[in-house]
Chains A and B, each alone.
Chain A
């Protein structure tokens, strides 16, 4: 063996290592690919060798080649081999390679589960660390499910180094396996207060990442984060928290109010720009959430804007960029405060940095108003001319169009100006946005009726000068504009001054060089124009001219008939034939114009893009219903001879049905009309007057005095500028007029004249130049006004939208390898169990090949297993386990989760925290604790309608060792708070807080939050170990109960080889695996590093369940410290109460009544004196500790139900008055009932 190692390392000396490979590649610059392919061949040889060092070296080289773009997935199996090396150096190489090239589709990943599990529980923290790092990159849903529990255990590892990694990786686990979120969340939350700043930071990181996607589920953590924010000094953590608050404030405006002060303090005090910036950002988010009605926050806005101005003016381009970015957020709600910095922003447009210019453009978008739109666009047009790069120029172009068209052309007062701008933009060379300009032209021309005349004139000029646009084939992006131009000219041809000229322009031979879809529009609209021309000529009875026009078309259209484009060809030949026919008629002097125009009659209205989706499903239409009932399967055809009339009957029915329907329909239509009339959200069919600008006395303002040929031909001043001047004049004039009026008014009422004095013009003062009717887009009748149709169903984070405040249900546990004594191990599986990929140690190659085969088998098998039920899979996987001691033993490595606090408690905590007047940061922490206490007074008036929740929620929870946890928490907390908390708990007679649960309905707000409860009770304890346990029955098996035991290592040493044994009684027996003697102990399937706790489950069979029982047992274990290891043992007594045989079972009140009526049940009763707790607490306790569910609750009286594992019904009627509680109980097994009642009594005597 040793010799082999030496030989291997000597071999290695002749191999290439990574450095040699890199050097080689650098030396073969000309034939790199060839060199690398020889290297890959060498690597393949190396991978075939047994020496793990050689393999690791090869894998390391592959990692490098992967970076260069070579696919190395063929070596995935070798990577797994290297990962499973016992040496850290190689393991790390393996994991690095895996993290670089494994992904969900890599099939060998499923072979790694056990290896990773082993590494995770390795005593060497660096092995664990490397495994976690690697896993974080290639975790799959399967791995996440199988390892979630192990990782969760690591979250409480003694080493902060491991803790922080385990906490971070949980995020990935949640993403892949969302079911793990709820069980793991309590512990994650706990880590927010970890003593190690690194762990704390990791927890903050994970929760922020979760909360960003589904903020509402994390609102209840706000107080905790607030505390962290005011106490932490780690900028990284602070930034994360502040960002998180930014996401939370929109959901809870009260939170915002609370945040403003500490945030402004931070803004003033911090020197870190990154922190300052995030603070400003969050303050902005807060201000947005508060938006209106908070006049006293103008100071905060001022502060933000002022700080941002400093950032923007900074010489550091990064700060400038971010400043602009943040500024654009303020803009949305407080445009005024940003607009005062217009100078600064316009200045940024000249910046040499493109990203900054783009940001400034974004800002301008929000800064425009009716007043400054023309001015800003003019500036931008100048930049368009100056801009060199096409990308930036295109960006400018889109921005100009965005700015102008935003919110339904809100800021445009003069559409002629806008059309001219669009026409000017067509002169841009090489823009990609021709279609954008075109769609704007179409949109404006269609929706602004008043502008059609002007638009048509402009478009006609464009068509006439089409050669300017299409002269260069490179610039064909812009020729899209011709599409719009042709359509507008055709559709609104009645506005054309000289339709003949335009028609001629549209039929030029040059047109044939345009793209097909444009030609098609040309042809179609030529026909429209033709109709107009005909009408004109016939009106003037100029038949000669009319015939000439027809001839023109007949001459020119054949060119299009030959087009390669189908659409063009089809339309052209169709129209050509039409015109030929018309010509014939014309020659017979028939008047045709009217009929030809009729072809194109009717107006097109714009349709909203979402219109189709919004068409409501007609009443009575059920697409899921059968049209013809399918033949029922149970009925065979020859069962009954069919009656002859049977076929006819349904038809008859149907026709009658429709008759009814018609009447019904008419009635419904009436009703619907009524409804529509009353519904303010209903968009009426008539062109809405939504955007009609009321401009009294504008008609006489001269607008259209411009020479129409100006736009394209005059090279000097762009024509849109003229509008600017005109507009100014117009405004001046209007202003003057208004002043006159105002003066008159003033004269009339001198008293309060000053108020209306015209300072700078306000928005509303500017009247548009046109009586503009912006036609709104059409929507189908009955369209629903909802807008919730844009959620991405594929978002992986959607799965994580989970309510975290709901108590954990029993079914929500992390999957663990479960012990099933019933499952027999087949010999084949037995063999397999020894052949799983761990042993990469030196063995003969023959052996190895065999092994490989086995592994292949394993892989196949596990694929099959995937399809099987999960439970089965877990069992089998466990059997495949290679470590013998693990394979044989029964275990359930369940790390219990402390359930989250109840919703109502959280809600009221949060409410209280939020509603209290802003408290100084130091006091904030205290507020959380007494909040629930404060609610006590009001809770005596517990709302009657608030019933304890569904029985599912009342099921016993796996809670972590409560005392242990509490201790930990307490240590961390301040002395003061501790006292308060104690008092608080005392008040509720609660000593055993920690693991918490509730049976409350989420809706209950006014009720007092429930004190935390735990079902785990102490089993035994010594200086090394503490055991707590809980017993649960199981629906499926009437003779089995599961005992969950949490083992907690209290010492500084490693605990291993734990063996759990119980002296069986006649009635109750520990289930041992096949082949084990009746007195053999069970090995606990895990080891415990110092300070760690973990849970194991043991199955017991019981015969009679009517009596409680105690079983004696022993736990033996080895304590391993650095120097020595000693055997220790701990005796315990397992107490099987009758309660533990009960299972929470829901029962409906009618079934419950029947049960009581049946008279099979025997009664018994119990009185409890001096119970000083709210009724719902009492019920919650019975539900929780004794596995009952509430059937019905009326005021201070409730009926409850539970069932034993052997099917005994137990019914309770609980009444309370003053401090006395009386319980009347009925059960079909009197001794069971007696014992249960005794246990209930005990529960309440304890508190």
Chain B
């Protein structure tokens, strides 16, 4: 099971947080901070696994993360997930974002958190991996967009994207 998926930047600002277990907003923020603290002090080329922080299950859980430019992608998983598998999954996630946003950068995530959530929902559902095939994920995300667009045209004036 995946317990949580967190994306934050080099300064610990959350860009996406998805918890598959319930925590209060305060605890969630603490977990993000704690995780950032754990992850950010690690050097670039050391291993991408570490034991989870105390707030999110401690040594029972593992943090598996990747660092891309300004963003950390952190998956908090329990022992039923394969470490290398999750590492691959993060790669798939990022590549999918790259395809969907065309050269994704932090700004895309900042302004389109909802879209990122929707893409993520096609990969991971309720803490379990739903789909690992990138083209399948993209197909579904595009189908969603198409539906959204058709509704926009019928029901409301097109709105200029500022």
User: Which A residues form the contact surface with B (CB < 8 A)?
Assistant: 5-6, 8-10, 12-13, 18-20, 22-23, 26, 53, 60, 63-64, 66-71, 87-89, 92-93, 96, 100, 103-104, 126, 129, 132-133, 136-137, 139, 161, 164-165, 168-169, 171-172, 198, 201-202, 205-206, 208-209, 212, 235-236, 239-240, 243, 273-274, 277-278, 317-318, 320-322, 352-356
In contact, B82 and A243 (Cβ under 8 angstroms):
yes
29 contacts between A and B (CB under 8 A): A5-B156, A9-B157, A19-B111, A23-B111, A63-B114, A63-B117, A89-B148, A92-B148, A100-B18, A103-B22, A129-B140, A168-B126, A169-B125, A201-B129, A202-B128, A205-B129, A206-B128, A209-B80, A235-B85, A274-B82, A274-B85, A274-B87, A274-B88, A277-B82, A278-B82, A318-B87, A353-B43, A353-B46, A355-B51
| Contact flag A67-B14 (CB < 8 Å), given A9-B156, A243-B82, A320-B47 | yes
Instruction: Kindly name the residue among B20, B110, B111 whose own CB sees the greatest number of chain A CB atoms within 10 A.
Output: B111
Bound CA–CA A198/B155 (angstroms): 34
Bound CA–CA A400/B49 (angstroms): 24
| Contact flag A10-B157 (CB < 8 Å), given A67-B17, A92-B144 | yes
- Of A126, A136, A240, which one neighbours B126 at CB under 8 angstroms? A136
In contact, A317 and B45 (Cβ under 8 angstroms):
yes
Cβ–Cβ < 8 Å partners of B49 in chain A: 318, 321-322, 355
In contact, A67 and B113 (Cβ under 8 angstroms):
yes
| Contact flag A317-B85 (CB < 8 Å), given A19-B111, A168-B130, A209-B1 | no
Cβ–Cβ < 8 Å partners of B1 in chain A: 209
List residues of B (109-130) whose CB comes within 8 Å of A's CBs.
110-114, 117-118, 121, 125-130
B60 to chain A, nearest CB (A): 12
Nearest 4 A-B pairs (CB), nearest first?
Answer: A136-B126, A274-B84, A353-B46, A103-B22
In contact, A132 and B147 (Cβ under 8 angstroms):
no
Cβ–Cβ < 8 Å partners of A243 in chain B: 80, 82
In contact, B151 and A355 (Cβ under 8 angstroms):
no
Cβ–Cβ < 8 Å partners of B29 in chain A: 69
Bound CA–CA A5/B157 (angstroms): 10
| Contact flag A171-B14 (CB < 8 Å), given A19-B111, A87-B155, A321-B47 | no
Bound CA–CA A20/B159 (angstroms): 13
- Of B84, B87, B117, which one neighbours A96 at CB under 8 angstroms? B117
Count B-side interface residues using an 8 Å CB cutoff.
58
Bound CA–CA A96/B113 (angstroms): 11
- Of B118, B131, B144, B156, which one neighbours A198 at CB under 8 angstroms? B131
B32 to chain A, nearest CB (A): 8
Bound CA–CA A1170/B156 (angstroms): 76
Cβ–Cβ < 8 Å partners of A273 in chain B: 84
| Contact flag A317-B126 (CB < 8 Å), given A5-B155, A12-B156, A96-B118 | no
A727 to chain B, nearest CB (A): 35
Cβ–Cβ < 8 Å partners of B24 in chain A: 71
Cβ–Cβ < 8 Å partners of B128 in chain A: 168, 171, 202, 205-206, 209
A360 to chain B, nearest CB (A): 12
Given contacts A63-B113, A88-B151, A133-B126, 17 further A-B contacts (CB under 8 A): A9-B157, A26-B110, A53-B156, A64-B113, A64-B114, A70-B25, A88-B148, A126-B144, A136-B126, A168-B130, A201-B129, A208-B80, A209-B1, A239-B85, A274-B83, A320-B47, A355-B51
The answer to whether B102 has its CB under 8 Å from any CB of chain A is no
Cβ–Cβ < 8 Å partners of A322 in chain B: 49, 83-84
In contact, B136 and A198 (Cβ under 8 angstroms):
yes
Cβ–Cβ < 8 Å partners of A6 in chain B: 157
User: Which B residues form the contact surface with A (CB < 8 A)?
Assistant: 1, 14, 16-18, 20, 22, 24-26, 28-29, 43, 45-51, 80, 82-85, 87-88, 110-114, 117-118, 121, 125-133, 136, 140, 143-144, 147-148, 151-152, 155-157, 159, 161-162
In contact, A89 and B152 (Cβ under 8 angstroms):
yes
Q: In the complex, what residue of chain A is closest to B22 when comparing beta carbons?
A: A103
- Of A20, A68, A352, which one neighbours B46 at CB under 8 angstroms? A352
A352 to chain B, nearest CB (A): 7
| Contact flag A137-B47 (CB < 8 Å), given A69-B29, A96-B114 | no
- Of A18, A87, A136, which one neighbours B125 at CB under 8 angstroms? A136
Bound CA–CA A1112/B79 (angstroms): 59
In contact, A318 and B14 (Cβ under 8 angstroms):
no
Cβ–Cβ < 8 Å partners of A355 in chain B: 46-47, 49-51
A167 to chain B, nearest CB (A): 10
Bound CA–CA A273/B133 (angstroms): 18
Q: In the complex, what residue of chain A is closest to B20 when comparing beta carbons?
A: A137
Cβ–Cβ < 8 Å partners of B20 in chain A: 137
Bound CA–CA A576/B30 (angstroms): 52
Bound CA–CA A356/B48 (angstroms): 11
A88 to chain B, nearest CB (A): 5
Bound CA–CA A918/B140 (angstroms): 43
In contact, B130 and A165 (Cβ under 8 angstroms):
yes
Cβ–Cβ < 8 Å partners of A104 in chain B: 22
In contact, B110 and A22 (Cβ under 8 angstroms):
yes
In contact, A239 and B82 (Cβ under 8 angstroms):
yes
| Contact flag A18-B121 (CB < 8 Å), given A5-B155, A68-B14 | no
In contact, A171 and B126 (Cβ under 8 angstroms):
yes
Cβ–Cβ < 8 Å partners of B111 in chain A: 18-19, 22-23
Q: In the complex, what residue of chain A is closest to B80 when comparing beta carbons?
A: A212
Cβ–Cβ < 8 Å partners of B46 in chain A: 317, 352-356
| Contact flag A20-B148 (CB < 8 Å), given A67-B14, A132-B125 | no
In contact, A161 and B140 (Cβ under 8 angstroms):
yes
Cβ–Cβ < 8 Å partners of A71 in chain B: 24-25
Bound CA–CA A1126/B133 (angstroms): 40
Cβ–Cβ < 8 Å partners of B144 in chain A: 88, 92, 126
Cβ–Cβ < 8 Å partners of B85 in chain A: 235-236, 239, 274
- Of B18, B121, B132, B136, which one neighbours A236 at CB under 8 angstroms? B132
Bound CA–CA A355/B48 (angstroms): 9
In contact, A169 and B110 (Cβ under 8 angstroms):
no
Cβ–Cβ < 8 Å partners of B47 in chain A: 317-318, 320-321, 353, 355-356
Q: In the complex, what residue of chain B is closest to A358 when comparing beta carbons?
A: B51
B144 to chain A, nearest CB (A): 6
Cβ–Cβ < 8 Å partners of B18 in chain A: 100
Cβ–Cβ < 8 Å partners of A208 in chain B: 80
Q: In the complex, what residue of chain A is closest to B33 when comparing beta carbons?
A: A69
In contact, B125 and A13 (Cβ under 8 angstroms):
no
Bound CA–CA A775/B147 (angstroms): 75
| Contact flag A88-B125 (CB < 8 Å), given A9-B156, A18-B111, A355-B46 | no
Bound CA–CA A93/B148 (angstroms): 11
- Of B126, B147, B151, B161, which one neighbours A172 at CB under 8 angstroms? B126
A929 to chain B, nearest CB (A): 31
Bound CA–CA A67/B114 (angstroms): 11
A860 to chain B, nearest CB (A): 24
Bound CA–CA A724/B82 (angstroms): 43
A87 to chain B, nearest CB (A): 5
Bound CA–CA A89/B144 (angstroms): 9
Bound CA–CA A840/B2 (angstroms): 35
A510 to chain B, nearest CB (A): 36
In contact, A66 and B25 (Cβ under 8 angstroms):
yes
Q: In the complex, what residue of chain A is closest to B49 when comparing beta carbons?
A: A321
Cβ–Cβ < 8 Å partners of B140 in chain A: 129, 161
Bound CA–CA A161/B112 (angstroms): 24
In contact, A12 and B159 (Cβ under 8 angstroms):
yes
Cβ–Cβ < 8 Å partners of A165 in chain B: 125, 130
Bound CA–CA A67/B14 (angstroms): 7
Cβ–Cβ < 8 Å partners of B127 in chain A: 136
In contact, B129 and A18 (Cβ under 8 angstroms):
no
Bound CA–CA A100/B116 (angstroms): 13
Bound CA–CA A69/B112 (angstroms): 18
In contact, B157 and A277 (Cβ under 8 angstroms):
no
Cβ–Cβ < 8 Å partners of B80 in chain A: 208-209, 212, 243
Bound CA–CA A274/B92 (angstroms): 15
In contact, B162 and A318 (Cβ under 8 angstroms):
no
In contact, B26 and A69 (Cβ under 8 angstroms):
yes
